[in-house]
Copies of this chain bind each other. A is one copy, B any other.
Amino acid sequence: MIDESPKRAATLNDVAERARVSLATASKALNGRADVAERTRERVLAAAAALEFTPNAVARGLTSGRTGTVGLLTSDLEGRFMIPILMGAEDAFGAGKIDVFLCDARGDAVREQHHLRALLSRRVDGIIVVGDNTDPRPSLGRNLPVPVVYAYAPSDDPKDLSLTPDNVTGGQEAIEHLVACGRSRIAHIGGDPAYAAARDRLKGAQQALAAAGLSFVGTPMLSEWSERWGRAATAMLLDRHPEIDAIFCGSDQIARGALDVARDLGRDVPADIAVMGYDNWTLLAEASRPELTSVDANLQELGRAAAQRIFDALDGTQQQPRGVHHLPVRTVIRGSTVPRR
């Protein structure tokens, strides 16, 4: 007879009774503790199996104080940056025995506060706050009862721990790569200058140019994180400065627009003009013609690191580090800067 109705989950008590032992003994047996006779343990395990016993982590958490649970508080799930970070964190935790509460605040402070309360009431062991840009964001506050790590968007409170990609170095590396490819007449098309990301990448690029005894051709153009802007800016650029031999773009979307216009105008990439993107959004980078060289922020690694910090804080052995940490990026080279052999 197959029971199709959802059944009540078996409890440790049920197991104990079936195995004809006390509740405590059943607990010990199932938790693999030494002070249980082997035969007894077998009986208990058999009973547990027969009953499809699933230990109640909720009850367990009540006693231990640990729930084996962390909160992931994002400000915009849709954002392209959330996902890899979230994956990295989920990955690092999933390896162990921790589950992740996902909360999307939709960029709304009130909703965020609401979710924070909910997470605390569920007694999460830690919280990761994920932003969708690298501008500092308001801190959740000090002395919360659990460790908090800010990922991508740093907290505005230096007492908090924040992990964010190193956009300045990213800009540097981009220019260094272009220079290494023999380019010297380089232009820049960036994203919205209201974003720290746009400014930091530009800053790094300018530092690297100066170090190489160069400077940008024309004024760096910052406006919008869009393909459309990439197209418009490239058209202007090639019109005013036909001599440029490389464009460093502030995002892959912008770069994609640049590629399209360069092609329309009959310029060969990378022979005439090298084009670099930023973010290494493979979906765009690998679908481009030619494929796009881009700077990767290692977001999955960043998510993993954030999870690791939570672990560390839980172990409590180490002093919880503070401040904003800038994590390394890496340049992924493809056909838009180096011709295929």
Interface residues of A (CB under 8 A from B): 2-9, 54-59, 61-62, 67, 69, 72, 77-78, 83, 86-87, 90-91, 94, 97, 99-104, 111, 115, 117-123, 142-147, 159, 226-228, 231, 253, 256-257, 260, 287, 289
With contact pairs A101-B101, A102-B72, A287-B227 given, residues A58 and B122 touching in the complex (Cβ less than 8 Å): yes
Query: From residue A297, how far is it (CB to closest CB) to chain B in Å?
Result: 16
Say whether B77 contacts A67, CB under 8 Å. Answer: no
Q: List the B side residues contacting A58 at CB < 8 Å.
A: 58, 61-62, 67, 122-123
Q: List the B side residues contacting A91 at CB < 8 Å.
A: 104
Say whether B122 contacts A99, CB under 8 Å. Answer: yes
Say whether B72 contacts A77, CB under 8 Å. Answer: no
Q: Classify the interface of chain A: helix, strand, loop or mixed.
A: mixed
Q: List the B side residues contacting A94 at CB < 8 Å.
A: 103-104, 111, 115
Say whether B9 contacts A145, CB under 8 Å. Answer: yes
From B86, B87, B119, give the contact of A99 (CB < 8 A). Answer: B119
Rounded to whole angstroms, the CA-CA distance of A5 and B87 in the bound complex is: 30
Query: From residue A29, how far is it (CB to closest CB) to chain B in Å?
Result: 17
Rounded to whole angstroms, the CA-CA distance of A117 and B57 in the bound complex is: 11
Say whether A6 contacts B104, CB under 8 Å. Answer: no
Query: From residue A147, how far is it (CB to closest CB) to chain B in Å?
Result: 7
From B67, B83, B143, B287, give the contact of A4 (CB < 8 A). Answer: B143
In the complex, what residue of chain B is closest to A91 when comparing beta carbons? Answer: B104
In the complex, what residue of chain B is closest to A102 when comparing beta carbons? Answer: B102
- In this complex, the member of A6, A58, A102 whose beta carbon has the largest number of chain B beta carbons within 10 angstroms is A58
Rounded to whole angstroms, the CA-CA distance of A63 and B115 in the bound complex is: 23
In the complex, what residue of chain B is closest to A230 when comparing beta carbons? Answer: B287
In the complex, what residue of chain B is closest to A226 when comparing beta carbons? Answer: B287
Rounded to whole angstroms, the CA-CA distance of A312 and B31 in the bound complex is: 36
With contact pairs A9-B145, A103-B94, A287-B253 given, residues A59 and B56 touching in the complex (Cβ less than 8 Å): no
Q: List the B side residues contacting A97 at CB < 8 Å.
A: 118
Say whether B102 contacts A57, CB under 8 Å. Answer: no
Rounded to whole angstroms, the CA-CA distance of A321 and B228 in the bound complex is: 46
Rounded to whole angstroms, the CA-CA distance of A260 and B263 in the bound complex is: 11
Q: List the B side residues contacting A256 at CB < 8 Å.
A: 287
In the complex, what residue of chain B is closest to A82 when comparing beta carbons? Answer: B83
In the assembled complex, 5 residue pairs joining A and B whose CB atoms fall closer than 8 Å, in A order, are A2-B143, A54-B120, A58-B62, A58-B67, A58-B123
The 7 lowest CB-CB distance pairs between A and B, nearest first, are A227-B287, A102-B102, A57-B121, A9-B145, A57-B122, A54-B120, A54-B121
Query: From residue A79, how far is it (CB to closest CB) to chain B in Å?
Result: 10
Say whether A147 contacts B83, CB under 8 Å. Answer: no
Rounded to whole angstroms, the CA-CA distance of A287 and B255 in the bound complex is: 12
In the complex, what residue of chain B is closest to A60 when comparing beta carbons? Answer: B121
Q: List the B side residues contacting A67 at CB < 8 Å.
A: 58
Q: List the B side residues contacting A226 at CB < 8 Å.
A: 287
Say whether B87 contacts A104, CB under 8 Å. Answer: yes
Say whether B147 contacts A6, CB under 8 Å. Answer: yes
